[in-house]
Chains A and B, each alone.
Chain A
Amino acid sequence: MDSVQRRAKKLESVVSISLLSILVLIAIAVLVKQSGYDMGRFGLTTETTSLKTEQVPLSSLAPAGFETLSEEVYIADNLYEKIDGKAPLYIESGFEKLFTSRFINKKDENLWMELFVFDMAALKNAFSIYSVQRRADVEILPDMQFGYRTSDAPYFVHGKYYIEFIGSSESDELFEAMMETAKKIQTNLPVDKAAHIPELDLFPQEDLVVGSPKLYLESAFGFEGFTNIFTAQYKSGDETITAFFSKKASAVEATTAFESYHKFLIENGAEIKAATNEALNTFGAKVFDFYGTTEIVYATGPFIAGIHEAENQQSAEKLATILLNKLNEAKKNE
């Protein structure tokens, strides 16, 4: 084989490889496009009627004197049909399935309730959705991992599930029935009982408002980059102060989040002011006047933390220092 033939063969190989590469690229493009295929765009609907309620034994949860009227299961694709504009909140928080069941009193058809069991895939997600929707001035339910009641219904977390009820009226009879179902859920619905959220132990306990911790998985305080933020409220005289922190993957990541939040505050009209607490100054904490409220933010190890919109700077700085000490302890123990 002479050099010309060899060159021709080489060129043919190059052309062939190029053609095959083009075909592969086309195939990848088709696959990428197909992965975002939206049936709704073409007026088609998804098939959900075949879904079974195998994960949650809904029919076994009916309280005494009630019977099951209907059962439904929703997935992320059709969750909006049940809760409309609230669906994105759940989906962005790890939602997997919603199981609902309506129970009606056998003697009084006007007495009914609906159970909502949201499978949020993980305890942390369930806690987040529970906490951000928690009503004010509620009574804590001590037998629940996280739970409270309003005048008309209980709300609680059971492992990876967030559970709520609605009732046809505010009545003791209906509330008792809801609690009976709640207890059945605790008994009949297996979850990882050892699971807990270690971050919640990092909040200082003194003056902590019971039941106040929240977890914002996304966009805490209106800042898009602020993810996985735990907050808790503290009593300081007549004032309530909100402390926050987030544990990042590394100290570098925490510092980046600190700088981003600092920038966000400045861009939105916050003004830096001097800290009166020397420890915070030494530590490099930033104190801001944010439209008449005090905002404090700092980073320590993998943690970004601070105080959000406090009325009184001194109380805010005091709490920020206590939180800082607690986080520094946690940092040492790691």
Chain B
Amino acid sequence: MNEQNEKNFGRRKFLTRAGKAGISIAAAGTASCLLYDAKGPPGQTVKAEQLVTLPDFSVPTVTGQTMSIVQGSDRKHTVTKAIELLGGIERFVKPGETVAIKPNVAFARPPMLGATAHPELVAAVVELCRKAGAKLVYVTDNPIDASASCFTLSGIRKAASAAGARVILPKAHHFKHTTLADGKLIKNWPIFFAPFARVDKLIGISPVKHHARAGASMSMKNWYGLLGGRRNIFHQDINTIIAELSMMVKPTLVILDGTEVMMTNGPTGGSVADLKRANTLIASCDMVAADSYGCTLLDLKAADLPYLAKAQNAGAGNTDYQALKPILGTA
């Protein structure tokens, strides 16, 4: 009897303890489920209603006047001719409009190294806009390096100001969050927004450069400057981010400068030995087409740059630039 009681007691004791252990596990599991934050710390993410979208700055298509390619060594002459071949600056800028020009000012490097848009080219485009009657012309970028140094040492601040533009350096309050519809990477991400929020037109200006990660940096990659935050994380999926930028930004016009092309050691370069004179300038309403031609100056084919096909598939433009019958000229 006594032996039987001890046996029962042992089983009861075991069941009680096992029950307690089970309750403890269940409680811990429930608490974990309740406390788990799938989104992580809120950081700088914003609510959906606070997200912004860049306006569409494009102009109506004119068949046969989508892209021009001009040969010449003087950037002021080539850009004037290239825009003239597309119908003149009046097609793109109306009197009284406000224009934002976004040159590539990514680095604090002198113009002779070709790592940034050439100041003479920026000044020439500012002058054309002013001539067309633009009320205000802004020149702005969100450089990766210290912005004041980038604008000063690249010569763009001085040249743009002298031509009558207002240079805007990025400030924290210029950034707003956006989400690209159908985007994989641009989701609730800060972009350099304020200078573009109220302008009527947007013109991109970029040099043709080799890029260690992307293969080439041209018109589409130029919009990388609009990304805020720790945008370097996108280098891991560089083709997707460039394609998404081409979906996010719908510029009025892009100017692609192949007067001197950075053939190696891009995107920073560092020596005039990295440059090759190609004396070519492209103006285009289709930046995918512009870059598809521009990469030939780097001895590449459009197929060598996966982001071009991605952008075309997303409807951002046409890699078959020849189908657009680019207008050729010399200046």
A114 to B110, CA, bound (A): 11
Interface residue tally for chain B (C-beta within 8 Å):
51
**Chain A, interface residues (CB within 8 Å), range:** 35 or more
Distance to closest chain B CB from A125 (angstroms): 17
Chain A residues within CB distance 8 Å of chain B: 2, 4-5, 8, 11-12, 15-16, 19, 38-45, 70, 80-89, 112, 114, 133, 135-138, 150-153, 155, 164, 166-170
A214 to B49, CA, bound (A): 54
A80 to B25, CA, bound (A): 46
Pick from A44, A86, A112, A137: contact of B268, CB below 8 A.
A86
Pick from B24, B41, B235: contact of A88, CB below 8 A.
B235
Query: Contact flags (1/0) for B189-210 with A, using CB distance below 8 Å?
Result: 0100000000000000000000
Chain B residues within CB distance 8 Å of chain A: 3, 6-7, 10-11, 13-14, 17-18, 21, 24-25, 40-45, 106-110, 112-113, 144-145, 149, 153, 190, 211-214, 217, 229-230, 232-233, 235, 238, 264-268, 270-274
User: With A19-B25, A83-B268, A135-B273 given, is the CB distance from A8 to B212 under 8 Å?
Assistant: no
Pick from B18, B44, B112, B214: contact of A170, CB below 8 A.
B112
Which 5 interchain pairs have the tightest Cβ spacing? A40-B230, A43-B44, A42-B43, A80-B232, A150-B273
A136 to B190, CA, bound (A): 41
Given contacts A114-B108, A151-B272, 5 further A-B contacts (CB under 8 A): A2-B6, A2-B10, A4-B10, A8-B13, A84-B144
Most chain B CB within a 10 A radius of its CB, from A41, A138, A169: A41
Distance to closest chain B CB from A268 (angstroms): 15
A38 to B10, CA, bound (A): 52
User: With A2-B7, A42-B43, A167-B110 given, is the CB distance from A150 to B271 under 8 Å?
Assistant: yes
Distance to closest chain B CB from A18 (angstroms): 9
Pick from B6, B229, B232, B265: contact of A87, CB below 8 A.
B232
Most chain A CB within a 10 A radius of its CB, from B13, B113, B273: B273
Distance to closest chain B CB from A171 (angstroms): 11
A5 to B11, CA, bound (A): 8
B230-A88 in contact (CB<8A): no
A11: B residues at CB distance < 8 A: 14, 18
User: With A42-B40, A166-B270, A169-B112 given, is the CB distance from A82 to B145 under 8 Å?
Assistant: yes
User: With A81-B144, A84-B144, A85-B214 given, is the CB distance from A44 to B43 under 8 Å?
Assistant: yes
* CB-nearest residue of chain B to A167: B110
A170-B232 in contact (CB<8A): no
B10: A residues at CB distance < 8 A: 2, 4-5, 8
B40-A41 in contact (CB<8A): yes
B112: A residues at CB distance < 8 A: 152, 169-170
